[in-house]
Amino acid sequence: MSTEFDLADIKRRMQGAIQSFKHDLGGLRTGRASASLLDPIQVDAYGAMMPLNQVATVSVPEPRLLSVQVWDRSMVGAVEKAIRDSDLGLNPSTEGQTMRIRIPELNEQRRKEMVKVAHKYAEEARIAVRHVRRDGMDLLKKLEKDGHISKDDIERHSDQVQKATDQSVADIDAALAGKEKEIMQV
């Protein structure tokens, strides 16, 4: 651990958690096909988990249809299984190395399921922000124990870390509220 407290680094790491959350939200569908819809899907490929876009090309030939072109014929089964097992409720039909995925109309029940998935992503992002906060607080305690920082500085830096945490959680909640409204809009 370093012997210096860096609030900018803590804020940068919290922003990273927020950006990751927003990227995950982009993968939640709202009724139209989008290539980013399949971004969160991980495929068991060559003994490791890989993002779908590293084993196949995803395109949108029609507004309610996704086309997935798998590069390696031996990976077709794994890609199909990963898509079926995702929380997205998609059912690919396979033709050789190409999969066609019809995007069904979102009914009320599916919309509520999508909102639940968005809430799960939000909670994961909040947890990531809290982990960054904990790391910052642990560093402050270590610096105090080693005599590198005064009690007043500890108090001031702790307040700054808490304010950054509160702001990050508020940003996550705002993004979640926007996505929830977008999903529930008919």
Helix, strand, coil tally for the chain in percent (to 5) = 60, 15, 25
41 and 95 in a common domain: yes
> What values do phi and psi take at 68, rounded to 5?
-115, 115
Does 121 reside within a domain? yes
pLDDT tens per residue across span 53-72: 889 999 988 878 889 999 98
Query: Which alpha helices (H) appear in 37-150, and where do they start and end?
Result: 76-85, 108-145
> Average pLDDT for residues 160-171, to the nearest whole number?
95
Rounded CA-CA distance 97/121 in Å is: 31
Model confidence at 186, pLDDT cuts 50, 70, 90, reads low
> Average pLDDT for residues 156-170, to the nearest whole number?
94
Does 2 reside within a domain? no
82 and 42 in a common domain: yes
Which residue type does 73 have?
R
Please state whether 102 falls in left (phi above 0), alpha (psi between -120 and 50) or beta.
beta
Model confidence at 175, pLDDT cuts 50, 70, 90, reads very high
Contact 10, 136 (CB under 8 A): yes
pLDDT reading at 1 higher than 50 = no
* Domain end marker among 76, 102, 128: 102
Cα-based distances in Å from 168 to 71, 109, 115, 135? 39, 30, 20, 15
Residue 34: name the closest of 57, 11, 65, 3 by CA.
Answer: 65
Contact 55, 43 (CB under 8 A): yes
pLDDT reading at 51 higher than 70 = yes
Rounded CA-CA distance 86/90 in Å is: 8
pLDDT tens per residue across span 115-148: 898 999 999 999 999 999 999 999 999 988 888 8
Q: What percentage of the chain has pLDDT greater than the value 70?
A: 96
* Domain end marker among 72, 102, 132: 102
Rounded CA-CA distance 45/68 in Å is: 16
Give the residue numbers spanning the domain of 135. Answer: 7-24+107-184
Dihedral angle at the C-alpha atoms of 176, 119, 17, 7, nearest 10 degrees?
80
Provide the domain count of the chain: 2
91 and 44 in a common domain: yes
Please state whether 96 falls in left (phi above 0), alpha (psi between -120 and 50) or beta.
left
Rounded CA-CA distance 140/122 in Å is: 27
> Average pLDDT for residues 14-37, to the nearest whole number?
81
Q: What percentage of the chain has pLDDT greater than the value 90?
A: 41
